[in-house]
């Protein structure tokens, strides 16, 4: 696996997982942004390459895509199990207030989780953008320049 994909995968898993777990996700946008920053950090650490703000954003976008998918995979069943009753209550309230709802309870839960996944994507992308100036200067794992060929410079053997 190439270092970019690996970094995006790890950052995406961290961002998606921690944003989806109830209570743990009380740290506001920290996990999503942290996932993007982590991806840039891991990429720079493994390649030593310099990351410009634009390439940080593009790495953040890939990481955000992965984070959004993981968020969907975890949040969807959780919301269908735990949140369905709350949504049903809200729908009942809305119908009593005379609001017509074009979707069923299940469909509404799915739509809401997809909307939330877009937010995870957005913040992870921003994490990649912010990570670039923090860690993107490179130099982490860059190989040192090769020694000059024998017979040049210095007294020699």
Chain residues binding other proteins by CB under 8 A are 19-20, 25-26, 28-29, 32, 52-58, 61, 71, 75, 90, 93-94, 97, 99, 101, 111-113, 115-120, 123, 126, 128-130, 132-134
Q: Please state the closest distance from residue 54 (CB atom) to other proteins, in A.
A: 3
Distance CA 142, CA 51 (A): 13
Q: Please state the closest distance from residue 85 (CB atom) to other proteins, in A.
A: 15
Q: Please state the closest distance from residue 144 (CB atom) to other proteins, in A.
A: 21
Question: Given the complex with other proteins, which of 42 and 51 has the nearer CB atom?
Answer: 51
Question: Given the complex with other proteins, which of 25 and 63 has the nearer CB atom?
Answer: 25
Question: Given the complex with other proteins, which of 10 and 57 has the nearer CB atom?
Answer: 57
Radius of gyration (Cα) for the chain, nearest Å? Answer: 23
Distance CA 5, CA 124 (A): 15
The token pair that represents 135 in the structure block? 């860690």
Q: Please state the closest distance from residue 131 (CB atom) to other proteins, in A.
A: 9
Question: Given the complex with other proteins, which of 8 and 152 has the nearer CB atom?
Answer: 8
- 121 contacts: CB under 8 Å, gap ≥ 6: 61, 64, 65, 67, 68
Q: What is the DSSP string of 65-123?
A: HHHHHHHHHHHHHHIIIIIHHHHHHHHHHHHHTT---SS-HHHHHHHHHHHHHHHHHHH
């Amino acid at each position: 696996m190439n270092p970019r994909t690996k970094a995006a995968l790890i950052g995406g898993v961290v961002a998606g997982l921690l944003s989806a777990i109830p209570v743990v996700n009380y740290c506001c946008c920290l996990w999503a942004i942290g996932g993007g920053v982590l991806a840039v950090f891991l990429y720079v650490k493994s390649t030593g390459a310099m990351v410009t703000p634009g390439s940080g954003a593009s790495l953040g976008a890939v990481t955000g895509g992965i984070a959004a998918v993981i968020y969907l995979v975890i949040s969807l069943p959780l919301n269908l199990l735990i949140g369905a009753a709350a949504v049903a209550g809200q729908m009942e309230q809305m119908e009593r207030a005379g609001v017509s709802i074009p979707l069923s309870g299940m469909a509404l839960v799915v739509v809401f989780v997809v909307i939330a996944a877009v937010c995870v994507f957005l913040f992870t992308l921003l994490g990649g953008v912010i990570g670039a100036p923090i860690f993107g200067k490179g130099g982490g794992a860059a190989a040192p320049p090769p020694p000059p060929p024998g017979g040049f410079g210095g007294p020699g053997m």
